[in-house]
Amino acid sequence: NAGVTQTPKFQVLKTGQSMTLQCAQDMNHEYMSWYRQDPGMGLRLIHYSVGAGITDQGEVPNGYNVSRSTTEDFPLRLLSAAPSQTSVYFCASSYMGMNTEAFFGQGTRLTVV
């Protein structure tokens, strides 16, 4: 049982480069989301999706794009990387509903130089 799979685990980018962080889940969850984790800031929501074809912005969406063409996949795109985007990124998925457990991937550590 794979759960939530994120790739890559580590990435170094140069300022201005673009890349896509991949996230896939095999639990048929409707809800998927992306967070960034920075020291002293906890987890901050970047974008989320409540189903295929539906996405919305979270707390810190600037500089990131998402799409949800299938239930399973929710990629996060950095259009033009900046040093301020150096962070650890987590993808999460869950069933809809306030009481449900969120399942997290193992994270992608991104450094922008």
Partner 1 sequence: GDSVTQMEGPVTLSEEAFLTINCTYTATGYPSLFWYVQYPGEGLQLLLKATKADDKGSNKGFEATYRKETTSFHLEKGSVQVSDSAVYFCALTLTSQGGSEKLVFGKGTKLTVNP
Query: Which residues form the interface with partner 1 (CB under 8 A)?
Result: 4, 31, 33, 35, 40-45, 48, 50, 56, 58, 90, 92, 96-99, 101-107
How far apart CA 94 and CA 104 sit, in angstroms, is 9
Task: Work out how close the CB of 103 gets to partner 1 at its nearest, in angstroms, rounded to a whole number.
Answer: 8
Residue closer to partner 1 (CB basis): 35 or 85: 35
Task: Work out how close the CB of 84 gets to partner 1 at its nearest, in angstroms, rounded to a whole number.
Answer: 18
Q: For tokens 């095999």, name the residue.
A: 26
Task: Work out how close the CB of 42 gets to partner 1 at its nearest, in angstroms, rounded to a whole number.
Answer: 4
Are 35 and 89 within 8 A, CB to CB? yes
Q: Which residues, 6 or more positions from 112, have their beta carbon under 8 angstroms from its beta carbon? A: 12, 13, 14, 15, 81, 82, 83, 84, 85, 86
Residue closer to partner 1 (CB basis): 13 or 92: 92
